[in-house]
A and B are shown apart, each in its own frame.
Chain A
């Protein structure tokens, strides 16, 4: 059915309950029992990042408050997320796939879109290729996955989602509409709770209902998003989406360069932290601030940028958000940014309320110039060389290998 070499064919590979799978790799005693990744203390504030299928059977869903998850499934093991570890596993899977297929785009930390168009002579029948890829991931990475195969990346993604866990779903060419039509609206990527509610108000229940509405009508009702939904309900386009530039799972290589305008860069870099319990202890707030500054400055260097100003923002126990900003000195690295961040936090804390969320944002970004110095010696290398040394150690040994002393222990 995918016999014609030039007909587009796409695969989608989705790692099953990814965070839980990684935790089970590292701790086999978690196998077979409900596991919820989101926070180690289910009574604290936080949300479910990933639930095992055992927990999902009890009604636990991603995004749900931990307290609610605990009420539904008190027997579950609750674990704090370890993003660096998940990212490392995600990269390992990507490498496994990238070595085997020519065109691959990672869609999220646990999803991969693959273009198999015209690869039959090289790789074999698409159904076989996808089955092999799934086996390779399960064998070498130790994580089960679901796959979908279809004429468009979107249908392949929906197919993979329908087969979870460990499904191998193939949607034959020409049957895309029949496959999508009976599915609930939420099965379509881009339909969240709010879109679903509004579509239901229009009397729509399934993707088929949506596909029956002319694109123009949806555009009138929902704007550009309506037009996107209309196209998706009909199966979407037969080409890979662009990689999500700057996403943490994307390799840190130089972004593509535009001949005239050079590299694009972000407007600002932010890091924030929500406390599990509202905080007013200076030491706790300061430690969190140190961690945020550390992460933001490292990201700044990774992008080859420098920042002119810094904003520290806090959401207080009364849910009001306040910000304080200041200018950074030239060539500001961790030490200089932290000094300003502490002064700004001090001003924010004049409200004398507990802090719920703390964030830092570096703005006024510009490319870092590699200006040579006239003088040699430690006084001239200091801040910048230190920062670059930190980056090198982290690149080899991981983020946690070197931390600022006054930050929060993890």
Chain B
């Protein structure tokens, strides 16, 4: 990968590529570019052609991604900034064709195919924030497929906004031979744990912004075996053959998650994942995602889900299951269950319950050194 030069570069560049492949790379970089930015330059992607390769960079100052694009014929090295949304939209419309991208010394960028051409104004690359360089030390690697699986099972539980605790990110906790990914918004928590083939040199305990973590599945390709990871004092780096992702670490303490892991859950059920998900979706139809409360009533007859939404209506959904314990009635936001049941892969899930004040627990586990546990705190329906 090329490092970014501070020497003034030529705005001129020229390369030819497949529009669809290029659009995909630009799409990844553009997904980082904020729609509204205090610094307008962040609404651009940086396009750089060098050494027969094109690199596209997007950044919002917190998270940056540089995507490497090799299926390209470079005619002229150079770099310039293009409006992310506009560039991406043009490429998408041209999908399926060979595009030629040229920029002249004034930054006028021409995107052309055999029968269409667009000219948009580019800007000098110097204005763009520099991405931190890949550190030489403290690098370790994790299996790509495993890491993606763990991200998929945790990212949705992270808090969407900045909070006093470092909850708007995913905790990457690496000790001895165990890797934990944990996300929580204070109301539910997802924890994925995996055994590593080898012990890591130094323990890692950092909170990675959700946006940065979610880029990894997008930049990994079929056949990529590993993700290289390096942790700096304020940043974390992820490197794949195709891309470099850098993310500013979320500051602050992650909540003490080990203290809240469930104890004494005596009611253990095995549920078919798909049909349970379907029942929950039915029970949530009347509510909105952030204002749902459904009563889960378990008894010998099975599970009854009832919801009453002020000014909208009411619903009742029955779900047959084998429940040989004392009846239990407890309120939950069904969206918290839907989020997790969507991403699990097994046909059955384990549901563990205790009482109306304790979290519900969902487990998906296999024996080959990995486990997943998900906690949902109840709603007080009387309150």
Contacts and interface: CB of A to CB of B under 8 A. Distances in A.
B377 A374 contact: yes
A369 B379 contact: yes
Contacts of A261: 308, 310-314
B260 interface: yes
A263 B314 contact: no
Contact of B161 (A260, A264, A330): A330
B255 interface: yes
Interface string A329-373: 110000000000000000000000000000000000011011111
Interface residues of B, number: 34
Contact of B164 (A262, A263, A382): A382
Contacts of B188: 374
Nearest to B163: A379
Contact of A373 (B160, B259, B377): B377
A375 B380 contact: no
B186 interface: yes
Given A263-B310, A265-B311, A374 B375 contact: yes
Nearest to B160: A330
A399 interface: no
A374 B379 contact: no
A260 B311 contact: no
Contacts, number: 71
B311 A374 contact: no
A379 B186 CA distance: 10
A307 to B, nearest CB: 12
Given A260-B314, A261-B313, A375 B308 contact: no
A372 B380 CA distance: 7
A379 to B, nearest CB: 5
Interface stretch (B70-78, B198-206, B285-293): B285-293
| Among A262, A371, A379, A380, residue most surrounded by chain B Cβ atoms (within 10 Å) | A371
A367 B288 CA distance: 11
B307 to A, nearest CB: 10
A386 to B, nearest CB: 13
Given A261-B310, A264-B310, A374 B187 contact: yes
Interface in B183-228: 184, 186-189
Contact of B184 (A330, A366, A372, A374): A374
A372 B377 CA distance: 6
Given A370-B383, A372-B379, A265 B256 contact: no
A369 B293 contact: yes
Interface in A256-284: 260-265
A374 B255 contact: yes
B276 to A, nearest CB: 21
A79 B83 CA distance: 63
B187 A373 contact: yes
Contact of B311 (A264, A370, A371, A382): A264
Interface in B272-320: 288, 290-291, 293, 308-314
B359 interface: yes
Contacts of A375: 165, 186, 255-256, 259-260
A264 B381 CA distance: 17
A171 B186 CA distance: 65
Contact of B310 (A367, A372, A373, A382): A367
A12 B255 CA distance: 61
A366 B377 CA distance: 20
A366 B288 contact: yes
A260 B259 CA distance: 40
B334 interface: no
A392 to B, nearest CB: 15
B136 to A, nearest CB: 38
B131 interface: no
Given A262-B310, A374-B186, A374-B189, A366 B375 contact: no
Contacts of A382: 164
A390 B290 CA distance: 25
B246 interface: no
A248 B111 CA distance: 66
Nearest to A329: B161
B333 interface: yes
Interface in B260-276: 260
Contacts of B187: 371-374
Nearest to A305: B310
| Among B310, B359, B377, residue most surrounded by chain A Cβ atoms (within 10 Å) | B310
B186 A380 contact: yes
Given A262-B308, A375-B260, A366 B186 contact: no
Given A375-B255, A379-B164, A370 B380 contact: yes
B141 interface: no
Nearest to A366: B291
A330 B159 CA distance: 10
A322 B255 CA distance: 43
Contacts of A374: 184, 186-189, 255, 260, 359, 375, 377
Interface string B339-383: 000000000000000000101000000000000000101111101
Contact of B186 (A367, A370, A373): A373
Nearest to B358: A372
A372 B293 CA distance: 12
| Among B308, B314, B377, residue most surrounded by chain A Cβ atoms (within 10 Å) | B308
Contacts of B383: 370
Contacts of A262: 308-311, 314
B357 to A, nearest CB: 7
B343 to A, nearest CB: 20
A20 B259 CA distance: 61
A256 to B, nearest CB: 13
A241 to B, nearest CB: 24
Given A260-B308, A261-B314, A264-B311, A371 B164 contact: no
B368 to A, nearest CB: 29
A147 B158 CA distance: 63
A379 B165 CA distance: 7
B201 to A, nearest CB: 31
Contacts of B259: 375
Interface of A: 260-265, 329-330, 366-367, 369-375, 379-380, 382
Interface of B: 160-161, 164-165, 184, 186-189, 255-256, 259-260, 288, 290-291, 293, 308-314, 333, 357, 359, 375, 377-381, 383
17 contacts: A260-B313, A261-B308, A261-B311, A262-B314, A264-B310, A264-B311, A265-B311, A367-B291, A367-B310, A369-B293, A370-B381, A372-B187, A374-B189, A375-B186, A375-B260, A380-B165, A382-B164
Given A261-B312, A371-B380, 5 more contacts: A262-B310, A366-B288, A367-B291, A370-B380, A372-B378
